[in-house]
Structure 1
Amino acid sequence: MRDYQTAAREFDYQRTLEETLAGSLEAINACIECCDRHVGAQRVALYWEGVDGRRASWTFEQLQEASARFANLLYSRGVRPGDCVSGLLPRTPELLVTILGTWRLGAIYQPLFTAFGPKAIEHRVRLAGSRLVVTDAGNRPKLDEVEQAPPVLCVGAPAGQADFWSELEGQSSRFEPVLRTGEDAFLLMFTSGTTGLPKPLEVPLKAIAAFVGYMRHAVDLRPEDAFWNLADPGWAYGLYYAVTGPLAMGHATTFYEGPFSVESTCRIIRQYGISNLAGSPTAYRLLLAAKEEVEAQLKGRLRAVSSAGEPLTPEVIRWFAEGLGVTIHDHYGQTELGMVLCNHHALAHPVRLGAAGYAVPGHRVVVVDEQLRELPPGQPGILAVDRPRSPLFWFRGYRDMETSSFAGDYYLSGDTVELNEDGSISFVGRADDVITTSGYRVGPFDVESALIEHPAVIEAAVIGKPDPERTELVKAFVVLHGHANPGPQLVEELQQYVRKRLSAHAYPREIEFVAELPKTPSGKIQRFLLRNQEVAKASAAH
């Protein structure tokens, strides 16, 4: 295993590009990078399993031909390089053909998560200026409620409507990829909407080098691995690291069409021999909730596990090590950045329990105050990326929107963190989420982590509730296991449990038991909705 400090010190941007990309940044195409360059010897690019139990594998050769047919279809419909094509599809081979065919034409792919309703779809396709939406029969009716919807191509379309495979069969299987530059966009993403309306941002082709860097250094994706990223490609982590990253390395990826469940996750890991797994803390917490069943099926089967989306709790980290015999590492990123701060599976460095880790080589990540002064260890501040000294940094702002994220040489993430003495960085919370109570600053994640350690608790979300005496008081919303009794006795027990583990000022003075927590479709807890709810209650009381 290579030493982290050596890897960071010796990082060479030009060499990274040469090792990562088939062409130069003056002549690049994402379909070449993620498909054509890996054609040969019938290498598998995709293992797929449907909700009905059907299975298939696709080689890079098969994807090359299908993507060429799709690119020809797009061209025949007037789509040109730089135009947007939207995909409202589950994790199916058609999704991958749509993505690669869009890229082959030099167009921009824009993902639509299948759980979106018509309004969420309308917001995205309108701002994207989408020229076509590719969907399936199950999602097709949503588009009837989208005002001024783009033309639609449907997988399994009813009689009389354009069907995906029927349309492709009439197209040529040859289409020369359109070369673009590294600054040209190949993805149009929308932020997950944790703090407001989702904002559009273009991902340039040069970001592929950063995505591969994460796969190599943090995920430690090896040729002998069977890889599965649980994240849906309707979101950044899935599209960047279940599609673009592994395919750019010539590595097969895995799609399971069905929803997450403990049973299906265990079955697919066993069936496909998955050794390298990536996913979200929400999925891992659900596995932990069924730990006896999961341990019996998966112990010793996984080599590396990566987590992104929100910080892991210490209990989950310990259980993976002790119960499953595998290291799970926390990774931090944003739609705007990709993953930039990680505990790296492929690089040797100290691992502090609960810390997000160290900057991925090619990035310089620091902690700054509001005056943009870089802070020493132990002082909470804003997580920032030093743009001039981060050659793999690719974000250039939101499409047709102003942003306050750029200040001087820094990109400001909006997340509150602390630098540790060993050089790692620990996540405290979104700037809006940090609680000020009786003069103390409390990170909600610390309180949530302590609550989840209690055997009665499945999930928790912690906010600051307005309070005239303390500014805010700490309030927890808690989801319980079925065996727990949600009464005053358990409230007192949980309060004392947290108080002993954290401090007298950080325990939740109020606890409300709920059936579920509000989350974005990608699984991130929306604390601001809970906070707004409490503000509204306080206003109504006065």
Structure 2
Amino acid sequence: MESYEAARDAFRWDVPESFNFGGDVIDAWARERPDHPALIWCDDQGNERRLTYADIAELSNRVANALSARGVKRGDRVIVMLPRIPEWQMAMVGCLKLGAIPIPCIDMLTERDIAYRLANSEATGAITTLSNIGKFASGDHLLASLSVGGAEGHWEDFDVALADASDRFQPARLAADEPAIMYYTSGSTGHPKGVLHASRGIFAWRVSAWYWLTLTPEDVMWCTADTGWSKAGTSIIFGPWSCGSTVVFYNGRYDPKLRLETLARYRVTVFCAAATELRRLVQEDVAGYDLSALRMTVSAGESVNPEIVRGWKRLTGVDLLDGYGQTETLMTVLNYPPLPVKPGSMGKPLPGTEAAVIDMEGRFAPAGTPGRLAIRADNPQIMLGYWKEPERTAANYMKIGGADWFLTGDLARMDEDGYLFYEGRSDDVINSAGYRIGPMEVENVLMEHEAVAECAVVASPHEERGEVVKAFIVLKAGHVGEDALVKQLQDHCKALTGPYKYPRRIEFTADLPKTASGKIKRRELRDREFAAQSFLAKKEDA
């Protein structure tokens, strides 16, 4: 893509009537380039495995046959709870070939988490590790229970099951709107939601690999996302393999130096990591690592502060292109290589995606005005809906200007150049004396201060103003949380953003609560703050 505007204007969706990623992508590459490396797996102990596209095609055929032989059929749901090991890719692609619906889950789920997913999805199969089968106590009804690493009870050894299965399989022809994959994602209340995607979604997710990642068969891509995240799907399987690229898959502890060593050893060209990781990496000395192959770094899932974008560029000489997506839509707003980067911006809508900011009255908001981020609903990337929750699904749609729009649940603003800026979740907005304040803008300013390692901004109840801005701050080594630093940080914010946005309350903390994917739990901090202030008020009244 030489020009974003030209690509956007020329783009037209061309979704086939039927599509099966396993057959139409993996098997196609296996025929065209059978010996081309598809996967390089490694761990923190120095172990390594390499698989070609022909290997992945054959092994996924065996998975499909093994599941089918045990009674799993097209349309059935299969829990795939595996760490970052090659069996994850085999299982995912094998399910897709069969037409079964894989449900990728992070390896850290508890027995209670799994019991809910098994019951809610009515899964008929599960693939996990021997060390995790004890968490499937409610899974005695499963038709297929495959365990990587050994057999126990009714669980069968994954490798033995594959060895007994044929390496030939005819992939199912899935209609464009036929269910193909499901992710569970946490909501602000209640149980996790099952986000169901069609085969058209898996087909459409390659577009971000074309324009954002700009992948080719010559690229080596490493995405550090966990296997239960939708980001792992787009940047570890569906995006790079649709482009014939090689994927690096690392399993092991997080260590900044090991990250840099892995980038150098495998000559990674495109690196994708969460903002939490990048905040630590920019503090490393990269002089001893050969990163000459690296041409691009991207991040998604959590907004990257402008200082991290600038710091990564200074450190590596490589652009850090932030992007926005969610489990319901995957990547939809991105920064692109030919597009000037505005630090702090999510970028512009992906070609084929129309995005808008909607005000509380259901109108398109003027430039610079925060509102609800919406995606025009005639987009194949958008989910089929929430599993078994039609009312909840319908609540995400709104008709505006004669067209249907999907409401993402996120807040954003669009500047006069069409760049979108993330303002937080709709329930994260701080309303202080009539001013609506997005936490991200305050966090971005705080992150530019030399003393701040991490921060989270939430609403804190206030008798006069209703709410005020409160910042929870993790300091870098060598800095002490004292009154003088509080004033310094407040003055820093007043100087760089609207004076009404500065944090009137600051609390220094050793760490911040985070989800399994590394996102800061602002809601938890906000709830804690409201509970604490309520307690203090009652104490004062007494």
Provide TM-score, normalisation by structure 1. Answer: 0.93
Contact 2:344 2:444 in 1 (8 A): no
2:167 maps to 1:177: no
Contact 1:143 1:149 in 2 (8 A): no
Secondary structure of the corresponding residue to residue 216 of structure 2: coil
- Decide which of 40, 59, 64 is 2:57's aligned counterpart: 64
In structure 2, C-alpha distance between the alignment counterparts of 1:242 and 1:128, rounded to whole Å? 24
In structure 1, C-alpha distance between the alignment counterparts of 2:430 and 2:467, rounded to whole Å? 7
2:394 maps to 1:392: no
- Decide which of 69, 93, 101 is 1:100's aligned counterpart: 93
In structure 2, C-alpha distance between the alignment counterparts of 1:79 and 1:325, rounded to whole Å? 50
Amino acid in the other structure paired with 2:110: G
Amino acid in the other structure paired with 2:494: R
In structure 2, C-alpha distance between the alignment counterparts of 1:368 and 1:69, rounded to whole Å? 48
- What residue number does 1:306 align with? 298
Amino acid in the other structure paired with 2:301: G
Report deviation, 1:92: 0.7
In structure 2, C-alpha distance between the alignment counterparts of 1:240 and 1:192, rounded to whole Å? 19
- What residue number does 2:471 align with? 476
**Are residues 219 and 194 of structure 1, via their aligned partners in 2, closer, same or farther at CA, if it must alter by over 3 Å?**
farther
Secondary structure of the corresponding residue to residue 302 of structure 2: coil
- What residue number does 2:29 align with? 38
- Decide which of 253, 256, 263 is 1:259's aligned counterpart: 253
- What residue number does 1:5 align with? 5
- What residue number does 1:21 align with? none
- What residue number does 2:325 align with? 333
Secondary structure of the corresponding residue to residue 271 of structure 2: strand
2:155 maps to 1:164: no
Amino acid in the other structure paired with 1:321: K
- What residue number does 2:240 align with? 246
- What residue number does 1:489 align with? 484
2:307 maps to 1:315: yes
Report deviation, 1:467: 0.9
Percent identity of the aligned residues? 34
Amino acid in the other structure paired with 2:239: G
Amino acid in the other structure paired with 1:530: L
2:411 maps to 1:416: yes
In structure 1, C-alpha distance between the alignment counterparts of 2:290 and 2:519, rounded to whole Å? 26
Q: Deviations over 1:94-140 (max 9, x none)?
A: 11111111111111110110122222222222212111211112323
Count of paired positions: 526
- What residue number does 1:359 align with? 349
**Are residues 148 and 451 of structure 1, via their aligned partners in 2, closer, same or farther at CA, if it must alter by over 3 Å?**
farther
Amino acid in the other structure paired with 1:121: I
Q: Deviations over 1:418-477 (max 9, x none)?
A: 111111111111111111112222211111112222222211000011111011011111
Secondary structure of the corresponding residue to residue 386 of structure 2: coil
- What residue number does 1:126 align with? 119
Q: Where do 4+ consecutive residues of structure 1 move more than 4 Å?
A: 146-149, 158-161, 298-301
- What residue number does 2:361 align with? 371
- What residue number does 2:67 align with? 74
Secondary structure of the corresponding residue to residue 138 of structure 1: helix
**Are residues 261 and 504 of structure 1, via their aligned partners in 2, closer, same or farther at CA, if it must alter by over 3 Å?**
same
**Are residues 268 and 109 of structure 1, via their aligned partners in 2, closer, same or farther at CA, if it must alter by over 3 Å?**
same
**Are residues 260 and 270 of structure 1, via their aligned partners in 2, closer, same or farther at CA, if it must alter by over 3 Å?**
same
Report deviation, 1:194: 5.2
Question: Which residues in structure 2 correspond to 1:208-287 (within 5 Å)?
Answer: 208-287=202-281
Unpaired runs of at least 5, structure 1: 18-23
**Are residues 393 and 71 of structure 1, via their aligned partners in 2, closer, same or farther at CA, if it must alter by over 3 Å?**
closer
Contact 1:466 1:538 in 2 (8 A): yes
Secondary structure of the corresponding residue to residue 256 of structure 1: strand
Secondary structure of the corresponding residue to residue 13 of structure 1: coil
- What residue number does 1:109 align with? 102
In structure 2, C-alpha distance between the alignment counterparts of 1:418 and 1:98, rounded to whole Å? 40
Q: Deviations over 1:391-422 (max 9, x none)?
A: 43432321111221111111111211111111
Q: Deviations over 1:353-372 (max 9, x none)?
A: 21111110111001111232
Contact 1:128 1:188 in 2 (8 A): no
Provide TM-score, normalisation by structure 2. Answer: 0.93
**Are residues 147 and 137 of structure 1, via their aligned partners in 2, closer, same or farther at CA, if it must alter by over 3 Å?**
closer
**Are residues 369 and 437 of structure 1, via their aligned partners in 2, closer, same or farther at CA, if it must alter by over 3 Å?**
same
Contact 1:30 1:186 in 2 (8 A): no
Report deviation, 1:52: 2.9
In structure 2, C-alpha distance between the alignment counterparts of 1:417 and 1:58, rounded to whole Å? 42
- Decide which of 182, 186, 195 is 1:201's aligned counterpart: 195
